[in-house]
A and B are shown apart, each in its own frame.
Chain A
Amino acid sequence: MEVFFQQLINGLTLGSIYGLIAIGYTMVFGIIGMVNFAHGDVFMVSSFIALIALMVITTWLGVGSIILALLIVLIIAMVFTSLISWTIERIAYRPLRGSFRLAPLISAIGMSIVLMNFVQVAQGPRNKAVDPILNTVIILFDNGTYAVTLSYKQIMIAITTAVLLMVFWWVVAKTPLGRAQRACEQDRKMAALLGVDVDRTISVTFVMGAALAAVAGTLYLVYYGVVNFADGFTPGVKAFTAAVLGGIGSLPGAVLGGLLIGLIETFWSAYFSVEYKDVAAFSILAVVLIFLPQGILGRPDVEKV
């Protein structure tokens, strides 16, 4: 039972990171119907930016309060990652809008290779580790042999995720910007006729997705304390799995899917085998798509006859 609770906590922590990345996939897919393959690598880049920002702030500027430092790091990572994603959209995806379907997909795969190798060339191929942060744990309960613990960083990850999801949900549901996004999602041509600046809305969508990926990247760095140039691919695919599982195009679905993937992965590692945890996650993707193609919270696809 104790193991179960511990894995529940760990799974939810990991799942909220996946959920944050998944939102970027789900929003972009919802609006332009494209799998943004480079999104996983944008997440990895944001982790590196967070690493560099953390080092500049703590060792160079000497900011003592770790909470304050992390807050600044988060904002820096969000700003720079959004800028990178905006540039990518401008260079690699916008010229291909309205072109045939595979062109943006290949362009995105190319961009993913570029980001990965850019980081490898610029920062080197080795793992980069930071000193552990916020490692203090709270013992929730202890039966003598096994203690269920909750670390400060897990609390921080949960709070940050919850707050940012509220903010983004509010933006999408209540602001004119969110209304424009939803209009573009339903019918891009019609939205353009009614005066919505479609190109701008799509750019904003990319920026929002990247900002959330940057939050995930920062949290990932804090949680694991190590980052590598090749770290974007697997979390990226898992986050996409989460987006599909939750129903692609649906924001709550992406978060739900992320949590589920995180839980499945940690429980599988705890009870079966660590080696096959990714196999389990990907098999679930295939099974869900085959039996429930629209995902858990997605709308079924209307087939035109």
Chain B
Amino acid sequence: MTIAPSQPVAAAVASPARDFAGAIKDGLFAGLIALGVFGPLIGFKTVVDMQNRLILETRWGLLASIVLTVAAGRFLISAYQRRRADTPTAKPAFVWPAAVSKGLPPAALLVLFVYPMMIYGVTGGSGALKWIDNFGVQILIYIMLAWGLNVVVGLAGLLDLGYVAFYAVGAYAYALLATQVIPATFPQLGVWAFWICLPIAGMLAAFWGVLLGFPVLRLRGDYLAIVTLAFGEIIRMVLVNWKDFSNGYEGISTIPRPSFFGIPFNASDTGFAAVFGLEFSPVYRTIFLYYVILCLALLTAWVSTRLRRLPVGRAWEALREDEIACRSLGINTVNTKLTAFAIGAMFGGFAGSFFAARQGFISPESFTFLESATILAIVVLGGMGSLIGTAIAAVAMIGGTELLRELDWMKLIFGNDFDPAQYRMLIFGLAMVAIMIWKPRGFVSTRMPTAFLKSRRKISSDLVKEGHG
């Protein structure tokens, strides 16, 4: 909001000594603010002592080091900026070379397909398990969820903060069908449970999507966000409290794992390893799960790019841009919104059912608001509507926080009490804020039009009105 041109002029006139004084002032001020912000919560620690009473401990050293770091950091940034202000240079916008932007999707796809083999080759049997599961499968689940939510938020512009509800519907649908219904009715179908329940879970989630969509058709933007958030919380609280149905906080365990099209992954004679003449190892199941979720994610991407070109997809994008114009042109906004909710929810349901099958155990703890926020953050950080951007964001955010679990060597520097994993979410939150400030439009901030006249040119996403609902 400040008027920019006056600043470089003033800085150019000021002498280096005054710049330096100004930077010191900035640093001192930042230190003072930091003292106020961190003082109570870092300076004092509330501890429960042996008599179960709350006592206070002080941590002046830690507080001082934080305050000094902030002050020094602010001083350096300020000094650097004041020096730079003398010689204003326009930075040319970074553009990917055409070869890179064209070749990236197929190259990424190839890497995705060979990733488990590569890891298996590099680390051998036992080490591969962690890398394929924690990084491969985990990230792919989020990529799939983000691509599913992208239909609702990125294409149709409906801000949905309760997406995790559909994920929960899918997970519980599979868990309940596979542990209760199938053993009771068709026990011989047990090995096929996952493949039977996957479409059912998707359909149930889509049904819930419509159920949520109907009452909120009139709402837009932030109001829609809040109602969907409330919906997600309602689903979670029902799962917590309706113990007969969902077993409450204890969750559902012993959920059957998916089979290789009827061949279970176990050490028996009819198991996967024996049938294919391999030595038994849990890594085969993980690799299989990896390819299942990869295919599900690619299905999501394929369906959503296809739908974008169909009338319904164009109606979604038109709806995002201007709802009133849509109505004037005779687009049925009710159906358009409901299909967006239903299709987005269906992919959430698929992902949920895969999640239940992979974990073997689910409880309401896995379906908190934080999950919805994470998925939405990945969609926005990636650049809404961009599939490749979303995938990059998922790798960066989920892979990045998973990597923090691997930082055990830091204990050598900071002592044994230091647990890097507990800073995971703190850093995750800070990264969300930082990326938004750095690139408010996300990683990929241009997109290709679906329909065009004469020539197909990139559109800057500054012209796109996502989120207005």
Contact = CB atoms under 8 A, between A and B. Distances in A.
A118 B41 contact: yes
Interface stretch (B107-115, B186-194, B352-360, B432-440): B432-440
B15 interface: no
Interface size class on chain A is 35 or more
A275 B241 contact: yes
Contact of A102 (B33, B41, B230, B466): B466
* Secondary structure of the B contact surface, majority rule: helix
A96 B436 contact: yes
B384 interface: yes
Contacts of A283: 230, 234
B183 interface: no
A124 B226 contact: no
A107 B440 CA distance: 9
B54 interface: yes
B37 A237 contact: no
Nearest to B243: A275
Contacts of B467: 100-102, 105
Interface in A21-44: 29, 33-35
Interface in A239-262: 240-241, 244
A87 interface: yes
B102 interface: no
A285 B440 contact: no
B19 interface: no
A56 B380 contact: no
A279 B42 CA distance: 36
Given A55-B46, A118-B41, A128 B54 contact: yes
A297 to B, nearest CB: 16
Interface stretch (B93-101, B122-130, B286-294, B423-431): B423-431
B40 A110 contact: no
Contacts of B216: 286, 289-290
A286 B430 contact: no
B169 to A, nearest CB: 16
A156 to B, nearest CB: 22
Which residue, of A99, A117, A192, has the highest number of chain B Cβ atoms within 10 A? A117
A106 B436 contact: yes
A167 interface: no
A121 B429 contact: no
A106 B233 CA distance: 19
B20 interface: no
Nearest to B432: A110
A103 B46 contact: no
B42 A52 contact: no
A51 interface: yes
Contacts of B222: 29, 33-35, 105
B373 interface: yes
A48 B41 CA distance: 8
B429 A114 contact: yes
B432 A107 contact: yes
Contacts of A293: 218-219, 223
A67 interface: no
A51 B46 contact: yes
Contacts of A289: 216, 219, 223, 226-227
A34 B223 CA distance: 11
Contacts of A33: 222
A110 B56 contact: no
Interface string A93-136: 00111111111111101111110111111111010111000000
A199 interface: yes
B241 A113 contact: no
A263 interface: no
A95 B227 contact: no
A169 interface: no
Given A97-B1, A279-B234, A286-B215, 15 more contacts: A52-B56, A55-B44, A80-B37, A100-B462, A100-B467, A101-B221, A101-B466, A102-B384, A106-B436, A110-B377, A113-B425, A116-B425, A129-B54, A241-B230, A289-B223
Interface of B: 1-2, 33, 36-37, 39-42, 44-48, 54-56, 159, 215-216, 218-219, 221-223, 225-227, 229-231, 233-234, 237-238, 240-241, 324, 369-370, 373, 376-377, 380-381, 384, 422-423, 425-426, 428-433, 436-437, 440-441, 462, 465-468
Which 10 pairs show the lowest CB-CB distances between chains A and B?
A110-B432, A113-B429, A114-B429, A282-B230, A103-B440, A275-B241, A117-B426, A110-B433, A99-B440, A107-B436
6 contacts: A33-B222, A51-B46, A92-B436, A110-B432, A122-B41, A278-B233
